[in-house]
């Protein structure tokens, strides 16, 4: 537990947010919001440990937290989905128990319910790096190729950031910081996608991955799916995806 605590990093914007809340007299609001965010991230941490994933760091932002996990891209989709959804489930379960076990004032109870509801709805949005985007990408990876799933996730993230911006602009909410952070992470994911895709390919020839399905007559590497083994037909013979991937990264091969 001490090791996990050492990996928790509170972003500087969070300190600014908390100090502002204290100075403006919203101490209770800040404590409740911060408490829910911590509970949410604990859900991810606990499930990641259960799935034998390594926690790299946990960054706490004013709107929520981001738990960075060191795992294979080609990891088990069911485990990944459980890690993605565990924060929301754990958060709502613990908040429900807290409200049942403790006798808060009506005002405090309503504040807890309001922030819990707000954080839940916010986290299910399909925007990178929120839980909703991870769940969406996980579902897409079950039916589509890894590359197409990622592209669709990025496109939907941009669309929902735009919708989020319009909503906040119309109602004059001060969430521009949140929007900037979401844009930053979406752009970073898009910028790093070539590296991510190459890592996805290299993992498939480095590790002995437990494939569940076999796909024949795959046309190119862009069609590779997570948890699937692929074969490519070249003329009258078939070659494995390992051979195809090795040719891509051959120093004498230009692509």
Question: What does DSSP say about strands 64-70 and 54-61: parallel, antiparallel, or unpaired?
Answer: antiparallel
Burial of 100 (0-12, 13-18, 19+ CB in 10 A): exposed
Q: Distance between CA 33 and CA 29 in Å, rounded?
A: 6
What pLDDT was estimated at residue 174?
A: 56
Q: Please write the tens of the pLDDT for every residue from 86-130.
A: 999 999 999 999 999 998 899 999 999 999 998 999 999 999 999
Q: Please write the tens of the pLDDT for every residue from 2-22.
A: 566 667 777 777 777 778 777
What pLDDT was estimated at residue 21?
A: 75
Q: Distance between CA 168 and CA 134 in Å, rounded?
A: 23
What pLDDT was estimated at residue 172?
A: 47
What pLDDT was estimated at residue 171?
A: 53
Query: 160, 153, 210: which is closest to 182 by C-alpha?
Result: 160
What pLDDT was estimated at residue 165?
A: 81
Q: Which residues of the chain carry a pLDDT beneath 50?
A: 172-173, 252, 254-255
The dihedrals phi and psi of 21, each to the nearest 5 degrees, come to -65, -45
Q: Is 53 within 8 Å of 44 (Cβ atoms)?
A: no
Percent of the chain predicted with pLDDT > 70: 92
């Amino acid at each position: 537990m001490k090791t996990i605590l050492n990996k928790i990093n509170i972003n500087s914007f969070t300190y600014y947010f908390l100090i502002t809340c204290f100075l403006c007299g919203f101490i209770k609001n800040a404590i409740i919001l911060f408490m829910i965010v911590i509970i949410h991230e604990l859900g991810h941490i606990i499930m990641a440990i259960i799935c034998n994933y390594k926690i790299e760091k946990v960054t706490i932002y004013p709107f929520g937290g981001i738990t960075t996990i060191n795992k294979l891209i080609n990891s088990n989709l069911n485990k990944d989905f459980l890690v993605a959804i565990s924060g929301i489930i754990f958060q709502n379960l613990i908040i429900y128990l807290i409200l049942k076990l403790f006798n808060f004032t009506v005002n405090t109870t309503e504040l807890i319910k309001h922030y819990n509801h707000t954080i839940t709805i916010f986290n299910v949005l399909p925007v990178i790096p929120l839980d909703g985007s991870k769940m969406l990408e996980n579902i897409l990876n079950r039916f589509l190729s890894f590359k197409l799933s990622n592209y669709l996730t990025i496109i939907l993230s941009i669309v929902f950031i735009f919708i989020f911006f319009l909503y906040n602009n119309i109602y004059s909410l001060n969430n521009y910081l949140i929007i900037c952070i979401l844009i930053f992470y979406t752009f970073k994911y898009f910028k790093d996608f070539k590296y991510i895709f190459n890592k996805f390919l290299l993992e498939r020839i480095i590790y002995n991955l437990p494939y569940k399905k076999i796909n024949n007559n795959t046309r190119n590497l862009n069609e590779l799916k997570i948890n699937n083994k692929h074969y490519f037909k070249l003329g009258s013979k078939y070659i494995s995806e390992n051979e195809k991937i090795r040719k891509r990264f051959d120093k004498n091969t230009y692509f």
